[in-house]
C-alpha cells in the first residue's frame, strides 16, 4: 500500500501500522489517544498522555536513529520543522516508512493533515476529538490585543509569519506583532521588543512554558509595565486532542488579563 505524506514523499505501508515510532510529541499524543497501543517508541519530550511508558529515543531534533532502527517500526512519524531531513532520509534508506507532516501554518491545516494520517495511513474513521476541535476553532474572535510572543530566550525568538501558534492566537482575537515578518521565527533584539511596547505597537506579552519555559520570574521582568499572560505551550503549539481543551483554557487565560 503506497501513499504520500504531506511533502509528497512515498510512504510504503503493508496495512495499518502496528509498530509506530513518533518523533513529534503532539503526534505521540494524537496516536495514543486515537489508536492506543500502536506506539513502539517516542521522544524524551513526549509528555502526553501522562504516564505513557514506551522506549525513549532521544529528542525530536536529535533522535538516536540507531535505537529507532532497532525498534523495527512499521511507520515513523516526523515533522518538517521539528525533525532533521538527514535523519528522515537515513530511516528511509534503511527501509522504514516515514510520514512527514508539514509544519502547519493554521489550525485547519493541522487538522486536515491529521485527518489524512489517521484515515489513510491508520485506516480508521476520523477521530471524535478531531471533529470537535474543528468545531470549536471554526470561528475567529473579534480583535482584542496585539502581542509579542517569545518562544525562546538567549537569544530572543518570537512567533513570526504563518505559524500554528500565531493562528491559534489570531482565532482567539490576538494578533501578533511579527505576523508579517519575512521569517517564521524572527530573532529581534530585546531593545526592539521593548520598543514595540513603548510605541504601542504591542499591548500584550504572551509567554508559553515551552519550548522555553517562561515563568513569572523569567520573562515578564524583561518588559517592565507590559501586560503579560503565561500560557501552556502545549495548548499554544500542539496539534491533536489537546486542541479541544486548548480553546477553553487559552480563552480563560486571556480573559483573566484582557477582561
**Bridge partner residues of 176 (DSSP):** 147
Backbone dihedral angles phi then psi of residue 247, each to the nearest 5 degrees: -60, -45
Give, for all 259 residues of the chain, the pLDDT tens digit.
Answer: 679 999 999 999 999 999 999 999 999 999 999 999 999 999 999 999 999 999 999 999 999 999 999 999 999 999 999 999 999 999 999 999 999 999 999 999 999 999 999 999 999 999 999 999 999 999 999 999 999 999 999 999 999 999 999 999 999 999 999 999 999 999 999 999 999 999 999 999 999 999 999 999 999 999 999 999 999 999 999 999 999 999 999 999 999 999 8
Q: Which of 100, 132, 164 is the last residue of a domain?
A: 132
* CATH number where 104 lies: 3.40.50.1980
**pLDDT score of 138:** 95
Residue 259's pLDDT is what? 86
Q: What share of the chain is helix, strand, coil (3-state, %, to 5)?
A: 35, 20, 45
The residue among 124, 169, 162, 117 whose CA lies nearest residue 143 is 169
For the chain, first and last CA: distance in Å? 53
- In the prediction, which pLDDT does 2 show? 76
- Name the phi and psi angles at 168, rounded to 5: -55, -50
> Which run of H or E residues covers position 152?
strand 150-152
- Which range marks the domain in which residue 204 is found? 139-258
Gap between the Cα atoms of 82 and 59, Å rounded = 10
Do both 216 and 109 map to the same domain? no
| Domain closes at, from 93, 113, 132 | 132
Task: Go through 146-166 and write b for each residue having 16 or more CB atoms within 10 A of its CB, e for each that does not.
Answer: bbbbbbeeeebbbbbbebbbb
Same domain, yes or no, for 15 and 95? Answer: yes
- What's the pLDDT at 175? 97
Shared domain check, 233 and 163: yes
Label the pairing between strands 2-4 and 10-12: antiparallel
6 and 98, same domain (yes or no): yes
Do 242 and 158 share a structural domain? Answer: yes
Helix residue ranges per DSSP H, 23-139: 25-34, 65-70, 85-93, 107-116, 128-136
Same domain, 34 and 153: no
Residues with Cβ within 8 Å of residue 34, at least 6 apart in sequence: 118, 122, 124, 127, 129, 241
My answer on whether 8 and 126 are in the same domain is: yes
Kindly state whether residues 44 and 161 are assigned to the same domain: no
Q: Is the dihedral of CA 239, 241, 86, 4 positive or negative?
A: negative
- In this structure, the answer to whether residues 106 and 172 fall within a common structural domain is no
Final residue of a domain: which of 132, 153, 179?
132
Structural domains in the chain (count): 2
Q: Taking each helix axis from N to C terminus, what angle separates 128-136 and 242-258, rounded to the nearest 10 degrees?
A: 30
- 114 and 234, same structural domain? no
Q: Examine the domain organization and report whether 9 and 87 are in the same domain.
A: yes
Whether residues 81 and 147 fall in one domain:
no
Amino acid at each position: 500500500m503506497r501513499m504520500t505524506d504531506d511533502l509528497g514523499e512515498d510512504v510504503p505501508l503493508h496495512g495499518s501500522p502496528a509498530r509506530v515510532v513518533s518523533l513529534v510529541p503532539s503526534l505521540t499524543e494524537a496516536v495514543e489517544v486515537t489508536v492506543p497501543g500502536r506506539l513502539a517508541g517516542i521522544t524524551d519530550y513526549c509528555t502526553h498522555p501522562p504516564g505513557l511508558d514506551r522506549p525513549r529515543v532521544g529528542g525530536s531534533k536529535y533522535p538516536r536513529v540507531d535505537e529507532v532502527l532497532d525498534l523495527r517500526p512499521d511507520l515513523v512519524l516526523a515533522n518538517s520543522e521539528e525533525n532533521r531531513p538527514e535523519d528522515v532520509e537515513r530511516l528511509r534508506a534503511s527501509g522504514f516508512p516515514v510520514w512527514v507532516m508539514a509544519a502547519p501554518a493554521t489550525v485547519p491545516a493541522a487538522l486536515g493533515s491529521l485527518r489524512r494520517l489517521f484515515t489513510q495511513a491508520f485506516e480508521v474513521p476520523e477521530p471524535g476529538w478531531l471533529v470537535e476541535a474543528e468545531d470549536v476553532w471554526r470561528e475567529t474572535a473579534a480583535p482584542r490585543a496585539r502581542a509579542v510572543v517569545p518562544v525562546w530566550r538567549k537569544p530572543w525568538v518570537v512567533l513570526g509569519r504563518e505559524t500554528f501558534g500565531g493562528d491559534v492566537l489570531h482565532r482567539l482575537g490576538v494578533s501578533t506583532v511579527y505576523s508579517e515578518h519575512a521569517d517564521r521565527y524572527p530573532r529581534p533584539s530585546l531593545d526592539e521588543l521593548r520598543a514595540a511596547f513603548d510605541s504601542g505597537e504591542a499591548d500584550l506579552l504572551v509567554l508559553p512554558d515551552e519550548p522555553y519555559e517562561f515563568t513569572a520570574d523569567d520573562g515578564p521582568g524583561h518588559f517592565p509595565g507590559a501586560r503579560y499572560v503565561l500560557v501552556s505551550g502545549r495548548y499554544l503549539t500542539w496539534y491533536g486532542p489537546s486542541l479541544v481543551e486548548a480553546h477553553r483554557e487559552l480563552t480563560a487565560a486571556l480573559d483573566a488579563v484582557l477582561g
